[in-house]
């Protein structure tokens, strides 16, 4: 069946025919917008069938007449003969305009709360613009969709609309007010059934017909609120804004207000006895031909701004369900703050870029008269809200601070980037015009445009659902240029998002762009395209959608100095790892309060079990949680969990093990943008090619790899060496006692004590590994020597290091540590003799590691030092390292202090964590 087109000349005749022929189950009355026949300019011959669906008299008023039907009648009827000169419309600061959205009008209780707010406003005159009840507009659109798709369920859906409003009215109203409202509601529903039946028969609804149906939600909510206010004893009028607002359709989903005609209509509307409180419908208006239309989706804000401009109100208050405008989406950035003020331009930019602030066009009407807009929370009247106005000074912070320049951030998801590229574009007039003319013909919305100065390429962002049509059209339009090679490609990059930084004071402030891009780089975010208008009110970047939240948090953190949050994964909760976790627990509150550093341990894993958290493990109970919520350890899953939590822009994995397998993952983690901190020596002392590959990756990215605790535990050995090299000093040699265990042993190996006796004492005190051979073999010292050698530029393998193994040859194959300790006294003679010889010469024995730069080698051996040498002055398990350089040739630079123990090693790791936080934006 083809679509029918209905042309009206007598709507009452049409409705009676439709009722008799098709829908005998309900009473029929005139449509709520239909005029009595005495005022109708239509010809009396009834309805005729034609090839297009057009809404005539049922949606059209003759001249300036006002319908007498209660549903749409204003409190004061205005005759066509009355003139503007007779109007008593007051304008100016005596007016306050309020707008309440669907959420505010969602239930009977909320409508009563709205009435209380209106009644509590001390303004001389109040104009209140209301939306339909929550979800009603969607329900009305659904009615039209079902009717034109010939789905009989539209009838039951309409019953649902009726029931929703009927039940709400019964909770709010009583007596004659309730009877009047329900009578009108029943009449409107009957008329809607007839109209929807017409749509059902035609299988199509014009935009005008659809707008007329959808606009009923606002009519009902406005009437109910006006009845509630009058019930309190306050005089109140209600306005059907289709009698006042005149708009001109300018394209798909857009209309432009006709302020002159709307002003004339408003003047006439006010010629009667109008109360000081007016309840007006939002969202709906009329065309210049008096056909009902709408301001399109979310247009109630726009209605309020237009009405505010028409009466030159003191203020327009937009009531919503949030405390004001946030510096970023609080669902994505928990540290987002309420902005006290926004300029018109800033609010305009934010609404364009998807921020849930206002309808994008709301700002335009009020800017002309400098009328402020106040965003307030209907559910939290104590919140002051956000004022949108013309700003002359910085009301959100220090006028000179970089942070105050960027006011807020907004994002748009589900975009695709289209790149048109080719050398034949350079210097060719009309290329951009051809590209965007083609896009316009498709009807796609271009969100952002970027072009290099070379004119070699033009890229732009469009919604993902429109990109295929755009790319196909461009391929077709430029087929000849593509075939000839003047254009190289039309490329589509899917799954993109836009991040926009907005701020009026960004204009002419140096360093804003640098700071923004530095924050993104440190969060390992790659930017695909950039745009900034000459106004400098916003900087727009296109990036992968999967990185959008992390980018938003990183940028917001940098500009708003919110907590520098690190999502951490702790690998190896052994002696060092558990000590670190306890240190983090004890220091967490201080770091948050004093340094704005928020360290969140998202997971802890050992070799067998791990625990994971979405928001951060409670470190006061991490040992108990290990038993209660442990799951099988999976290092890949663990890293993925910590890194892919998009609520935290920066991720660090802390390896507290000595496991080579864990160290082998460092490269992949760094490549994915995960920072790595470790006391594990295996990566830096392992195969040379792997080490060089790791360091090369580190140097060319913003991903950090810190390993201070690999050499001196808590001592600043690596940092000192790097500082010398970076400032141009030349290293000649590095010599030191690198093992706290061997330092303790040889500090106490004196007098008549035997070597085995001192080793046993060190083992009992916990200074050695469970098997002391791991310390006495010298391998651990050799690993530290190779790390320092490589940092100094020597390309050595561990096998190149000469090691003096202190484990007697026969005992190296002992089956256990106990067997080794039992046999060790049998080999005390040699070391006792070396000690005695040294003491006779006024010297001491020390087990040292040496990096010999001149000869490009590393050595681990037992050496003798005079008793006045710094190495002879140690006590306990202290370490000492001597740097001989061109600057420190005559008197070496010495670093000395505790070099072993869980506390100092964990402290060294903790220091690296705080160093990373400072690199990412926290105060250093």
pLDDT tens digits, 444-494: 889 899 887 656 788 999 999 999 999 999 999 988 888 888 888 899 999
pLDDT band of 561, cuts 50, 70, 90: low
pLDDT tens digits, 365-381: 999 999 999 999 999 99
Which residue would you say has higher pLDDT here, 38 or 254?
Answer: 254
Residue count of the chain? 924
pLDDT at 88: 63
Q: What average pLDDT does the segment 627-652 reach?
A: 88
Q: What average pLDDT does the segment 389-400 reach?
A: 57
Average per-residue pLDDT for the chain: 85
From 784, 833, 857, 867, the catalytic residue: 784
C-alpha to C-alpha distance for 582 and 311, rounded to whole angstroms: 65
The pTM score is 0.67
CATH class for domain 406-561?
A: alpha beta
332 carries an active-site annotation = no
pLDDT of residue 59 exceeding 70, the answer is no
pLDDT tens digits, 821-846: 999 999 999 999 999 999 999 999 99
Which residue would you say has higher pLDDT here, 850 or 5?
Answer: 850
pLDDT at 559: 82
C-alpha to C-alpha distance for 376 and 387, rounded to whole angstroms: 9
CATH of domain 95-320: 3.40.1160.10
Q: What average pLDDT does the segment 103-112 reach?
A: 95
C-alpha to C-alpha distance for 62 and 76, rounded to whole angstroms: 18
C-alpha to C-alpha distance for 553 and 618, rounded to whole angstroms: 23
pLDDT of residue 563 exceeding 80, the answer is no
pLDDT of residue 573 exceeding 70, the answer is yes
pLDDT at 868: 92
pLDDT of residue 291 exceeding 70, the answer is yes
Q: Answer yes or no: same fold for 95-320 and 717-900.
A: no
pLDDT of residue 279 exceeding 70, the answer is yes
CATH class for domain 564-712+913-920?
A: alpha beta
C-alpha to C-alpha distance for 791 and 685, rounded to whole angstroms: 11
Locate the domains of the chain by residue range.
95-320, 406-561, 564-712+913-920, 717-900
Instruction: Count Cβ neighbours within 10 Å for each residue of 567-578 and write b for 16 or more, e otherwise.
Output: bbbbbbbeebbb
**Other residues' Cβ atoms within 10 Å of the Cβ of residue 519:** 22
**Tokens at 617, concatenated:** 């493990």
Q: Which residues contact 251 (CB under 8 A, 6 or more apart)?
A: none
Phi, psi of 61 (to 5 degrees): -100, 145
**Superfamily holding 717-900:** Dihydrodipicolinate Reductase; domain 2 (3.30.360.10)
Q: What average pLDDT does the segment 133-156 reach?
A: 94
The closest alpha carbon to 114, from 407, 413, 319, 321, belongs to: 319
pLDDT at 548: 92
Residue with tokens 């009110």: 537
**Other residues' Cβ atoms within 10 Å of the Cβ of residue 705:** 23
The closest alpha carbon to 359, from 140, 134, 131, belongs to: 131
**Tokens at 736, concatenated:** 């030191």
C-alpha to C-alpha distance for 638 and 710, rounded to whole angstroms: 23
Phi, psi of 416 (to 5 degrees): -130, 145
C-alpha to C-alpha distance for 512 and 509, rounded to whole angstroms: 7
């Amino acid at each position: 069946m083809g679509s029918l087109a209905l042309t009206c000349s007598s709507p009452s005749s049409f409705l009676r025919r439709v009722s008799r022929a098709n829908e005998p189950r309900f009473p029929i009355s005139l449509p709520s917008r239909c005029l009595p026949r005495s005022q109708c300019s239509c010809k009396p011959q009834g309805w005729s069938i034609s090839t297009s669906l057009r809404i005539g008299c049922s949606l059209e008023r003759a001249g300036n007449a006002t319908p007498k039907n209660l549903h749409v009648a204003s409190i004061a009827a205005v005759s066509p003969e009355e003139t503007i000169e007779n109007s008593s419309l007051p304008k100016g600061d005596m007016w306050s305009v309020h707008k309440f959205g669907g959420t505010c009008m969602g239930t009977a209780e909320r409508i009563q709360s709205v009435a209380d707010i209106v009644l509590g406003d001390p303004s001389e005159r109040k104009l209140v613009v209301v939306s339909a009840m929550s979800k009603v507009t969607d329900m009305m659109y659904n009615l039209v969709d079902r009717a034109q798709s010939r789905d009989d369920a539209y009838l039951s859906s309409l019953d649902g609309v009726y029931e929703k409003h009927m039940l709400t009215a019964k909770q709010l109203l009583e007596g004659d007010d309730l009877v009047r409202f329900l009578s009108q509601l029943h009449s409107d529903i009957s008329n809607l059934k007839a109209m929807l039946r017409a749509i059902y028969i035609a299988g199509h609804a014009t935009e005008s017909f659809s707008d007329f149906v959808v606009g009923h939600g606002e009519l009902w909510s406005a009437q109910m609120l006006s009845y509630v206010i009058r019930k309190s004893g306050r005089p109140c009028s209600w306005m059907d804004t289709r009698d006042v607002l005149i708009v001109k359709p300018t394209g798909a989903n857009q209309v432009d207000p006709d302020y002159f005609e709307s002003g004339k209509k408003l003047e006439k509307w006010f010629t009667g006895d109008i109360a000081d409180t007016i309840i007006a419908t939002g969202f709906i208006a009329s065309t210049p031909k008096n056909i009902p239309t709408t301001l399109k989706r979310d247009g109630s804000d726009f209605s309020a701004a237009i009405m505010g401009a028409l009466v030159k109100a003191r203020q327009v208050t937009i009531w919503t369900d949030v405390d004001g405008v946030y510096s970023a989406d609080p669902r994505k950035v928990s540290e987002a703050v309420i902005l006290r003020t926004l300029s018109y331009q800033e609010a305009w930019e934010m609404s364009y870029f998807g921020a849930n602030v206002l309808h994008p066009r709301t700002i335009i009407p009020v800017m002309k008269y400098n009328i402020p807009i106040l965003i307030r929370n209907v559910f939290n009247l104590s919140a002051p809200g956000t004022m949108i106005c013309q700003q002359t000074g910085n009301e959100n912070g220090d006028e000179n601070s970089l942070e105050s320049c960027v006011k807020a951030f907004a994002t748009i998801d589900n975009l695709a980037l289209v790149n048109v590229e080719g050398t034949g574009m350079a210097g060719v007039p009309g290329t951009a015009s051809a590209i965007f003319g083609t896009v316009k013909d498709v009807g796609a919305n271009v969100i952002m445009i970027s072009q290099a100065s070379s004119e070699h390429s033009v890229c732009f962002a469009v919604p993902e659902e429109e990109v295929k049509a755009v790319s196909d059209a461009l391929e077709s339009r430029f087929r000849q240029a593509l075939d000839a090679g003047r254009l190289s490609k039309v490329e589509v990059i899917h799954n993109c998002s836009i991040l926009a930084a907005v701020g009026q004071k960004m204009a002419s402030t140096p360093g804003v762009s640098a700071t923004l891009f530095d924050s993104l780089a440190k969060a390992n975010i790659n930017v695909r395209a950039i745009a900034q208008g000459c106004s400098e009110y916003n900087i727009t970047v296109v990036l992968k959608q999967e990185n959008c939240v992390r980018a938003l948090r990183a940028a917001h953190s940098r500009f708003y100095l919110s907590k520098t949050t690190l999502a951490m994964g702790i690998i190896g909760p052994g002696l060092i790892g558990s000590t670190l976790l306890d240190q983090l627990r004890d220091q967490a509150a201080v770091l948050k309060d004093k340094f704005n550093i928020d360290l969140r341990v998202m997971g802890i894993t050992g070799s067998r079990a791990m625990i994971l958290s979405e928001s951060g493990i409670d470190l006061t109970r991490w040992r108990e949680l290990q038993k209660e919520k442990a799951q099988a350890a999976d290092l890949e899953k663990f890293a993925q969990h910590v890194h892919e939590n998009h609520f935290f822009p920066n991720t660090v994995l802390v390896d507290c093990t000595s496991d080579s397998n864990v160290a082998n993952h460092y490269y992949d983690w760094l490549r994915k943008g995960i920072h790595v901190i470790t006391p594990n020596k295996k990566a830096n002392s392992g195969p040379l090619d792997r080490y060089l590959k790791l360091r090369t990756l580190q140097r060319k990215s913003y991903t950090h790899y810190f390993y201070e605790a690999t050499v001196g535990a808590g001592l600043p050995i690596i940092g000192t060496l790097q500082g010398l090299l970076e400032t141009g000093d030349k290293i000649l040699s590095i010599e030191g006692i690198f093992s706290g265990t061997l330092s303790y042993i040889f500090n106490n190996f004196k007098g008549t004590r035997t070597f085995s006796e001192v080793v046993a004492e060190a083992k009992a005190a916990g200074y050695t590994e469970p098997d002391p051979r791991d310390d006495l073999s010298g391998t651990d010292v050799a690993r530290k020597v190779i790390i320092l050698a490589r940092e100094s530029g020597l390309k050595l393998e561990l096998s190149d290091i000469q090691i003096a193994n202190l484990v007697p040859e026969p005992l190296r194959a002992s089956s256990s540590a106990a067997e080794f300790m039992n046999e060790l006294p049998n080999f005390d003679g040699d070391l006792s003799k070396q000690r005695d010889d040294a003491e006779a010469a006024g010297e001491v024995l020390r087990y040292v590691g040496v990096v010999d730069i001149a000869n490009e080698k590393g050595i681990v051996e037992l050496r003798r030092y005079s008793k006045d040498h710094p190495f002879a002055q140690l006590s306990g398990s202290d370490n000492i390292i001597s740097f001989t350089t061109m600057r420190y040739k005559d008197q070496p630079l010495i670093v000395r202090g505790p070099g072993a123990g869980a506390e100092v090693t964990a402290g060294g790791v903790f220091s690296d964590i705080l160093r990373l936080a400072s690199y990412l934006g926290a105060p250093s």
